[in-house]
Structure 1
Amino acid sequence: MLGLSSRALFLTMTAVGKKLGYRDFTEVRRKVEKQYRRPSSFAPPKKLGRFCEISLDFRNGWPCYEVSSRHKSAMSHSDSHTEVLYLHGGAYIEEIGSNHWSLIEQLAREVPARVTVPIYPLAPHGTAARIVPMITTLADTLAERATGPTFFMGDSAGGGLALAIAQRLRDAEGNPPDGLVLIAPWLDITLGNPAVADIEPRDPLLAAEPLRFAGALWAGDLDPADPLVSPVNGEMAGLPPTTVFIGTRDILLAETYRFRDLATAAGVEVDFHEAAGDVHAYPLWPTAEARRARQQIIEALASTRAA
């Protein structure tokens, strides 16, 4: 059963979800046009600098942040670092936001981890054919330099991107991560699963038609079914242990089930967390259920480090 904070969040999202999320085609198209004309800020909030070291470079020609704890003693466990590559969501058309930065701060301080955050070009400038290979190269570099465990993590579109990168890195026989963390991952941009229509009336944030529009921009010249775009269609064997978080009021639930079943059948260890009645990307929201989910993520990353 949902707690009071999650019920309040659901009611709020039901009231304003058309503008806040991706339920209305006209609104989503407006988001794309607005981002094209006047790009949103991607800078981390100023308060992050009080607790974390932040560096910025422009590898690949676009910004890439590294965030780590200011408390050096926290990062000195056996002279090793936990490396996290965090890929933000936003349907490939919206910039990183405050809820992403809050999770990044928590990972940096409490795991503790060095979190790399690429500010990848958004669609239609950024497409899967261009961005996935570039971030795969970055991911390989992070895994190669790591003195401790490495994780690829993402929410929504970023979750799909994290899986596509892990598959591509495996196929290239690069340096694999020790684990994946996928938060409400968008794994099939076509949203062709028949179960989507059953879930959609209960989802206050997402609807299939506007998401297909955004997904087509990300696909560019590629077939939307291409695993680079829709990684649920890729090969699962050989992927690292994967932790998944998904709410049942989320139209991405159907393909997340499909991923779980395909990956498990291929021998991948999948730790699946399903939150009954919760909304899209629920670990990112200010609720009791979200706090528990974030603590589970931190404990999973910290335990791998300790091992």
Structure 2
Amino acid sequence: MTVVGKKKDIEKRIKSNRYPSEPTEPTSDLISDFNTEIRNINKRKVWTFTPKQSSSSKVILYIHGGGYISNLTKYDWDLVHELLEKTNCSIIVPDYPLAPFSNYKDVYAYFKVRCNPVEHPYINRQHSKKSNSFNFYSQLKFISKNN
């Protein structure tokens, strides 16, 4: 399939809403191998996975791909599982808003207001106010201004 053909296919899927609006649930291996916390933020799930043994103080914010139209898939969960095994970090996985019902501004607002990992309860338990944790909102602001 050519790029033009793929673009037309994607446009058809968007118009017919053939992309699932709900994310694929995490795999049973992921849930059994790691501590799992699920929060609902603005009617959307945010998963936090932590190693069952001692973990790193570092936290990864996993923002799945899909061009704002495709939700979390089994492949995303497989990658999250592998990242957890190899990094020993905690991972936050948000189910952010997708098109055609949302646009990039909605996603930006979601991360800014509702899913700021610096304000995430797990991170607040792990880092004191004196820590050098990054300011996620500033990072997003920088990215959006430069794109």
SS at match of 2:28: coil
3-state secondary structure, aligned to 1:24: helix
TM-score (norm 1): 0.39
Aligned residue pairs: how many? 138
Partner-residue secondary structure (3-state), 2:101: coil
User: How far off its partner does 1:165 sit?
Assistant: 6.5
Quick one: structure 1 residues 232 and 105, their matched pair in 2 at CA, closer, same or farther if it must change by over 3 Å? same
Aligned match of 1:60: 42
Contact 2:68–2:104 (Cα < 8 Å) also in 1 = no
Match of 2:33 in 1: 51
The aligned residue for residue 105 of structure 1 is: 81
CA displacement 1:223-244 (0-9 Å, x = unmatched): xxxx74xx543xxxxxxxxxxx
Structure 2 SS opposite 1:44 = coil
Change (3 A) 1:120 1:165: farther
Q: State TM-score, norm by structure 2.
A: 0.74
1:34 counterpart = 2:18: yes
CA contact (8 A) 1:64 1:117 kept: yes
Quote the offset at 1:150 in angstroms. Answer: 5.6
**Which runs of 5 or more residues in structure 2 are unaligned?**
none
Q: Return the offset for 1:58.
A: 0.5
Q: Which amino acid is 2:33 matched to?
A: F
Q: Is the 8 A contact 2:24 2:74 kept in 1?
A: no
Q: Does 1:82 align with 2:64?
A: no
1:92 is aligned to 2:68: yes
**Pairwise mapping of residues 4-15 of structure 1 onto structure 2 (< 5 A)?**
none
Residues 44, 101 of structure 1: 8 Å contact kept: yes
Letter in 1 for 2:12: R
Which is worse superposed, 140-149 or 59-68?
A: 140-149
CA–CA distance in 2 between the matches of 1:167 and 1:44?
A: 26
Question: What's the offset of the Cα at 1:69?
Answer: 1.5
Aligned: 1:141 with 2:113: no
User: Could you tell me how far 1:42 is from its partner in structure 2?
Assistant: 2.5
TM superposition shift of 1:136:
2.3
Q: Hey, which of these two has a bigger chunk of helix by percent?
A: 1
Residue 151 to residue 59, structure 1, CA distance change in 2 (3 Å): same
Shift in CA distance, 165/59, structure 1 to aligned 2, threshold 3 Å: farther
CA distance in 1, matches of 2:4, 2:91: 28
Mapped to 1, the partners of 2:75 and 2:134 lie a distance apart of: 19
Tell me which structure has the larger Cα radius of gyration. 1
Unpaired stretches in structure 1, ≥5 consecutive residues: 1-17, 153-161, 171-226, 234-307
Q: Is the 8 A contact 2:26 2:77 kept in 1?
A: yes
Matches for 1:124-139 after TM superposition, within 5 Å: 124-137=100-113, 138-139=115-116
Q: What is aligned with 1:166? A: 139
Aligned residue type for 1:141? E
Contact 2:48–2:92 at 8 Å: present in 1 too?
yes
8 Å contact from structure 1 (residues 83, 149) kept in 2: no
Q: State the Cα distance separating 1:103 from its structure 2 match.
A: 2.0
Alignment CA distance shift 1:22-1:28 (3 Å): farther
- Contact kept, 8 Å, 2:46 with 2:95, in 1: the verdict is yes
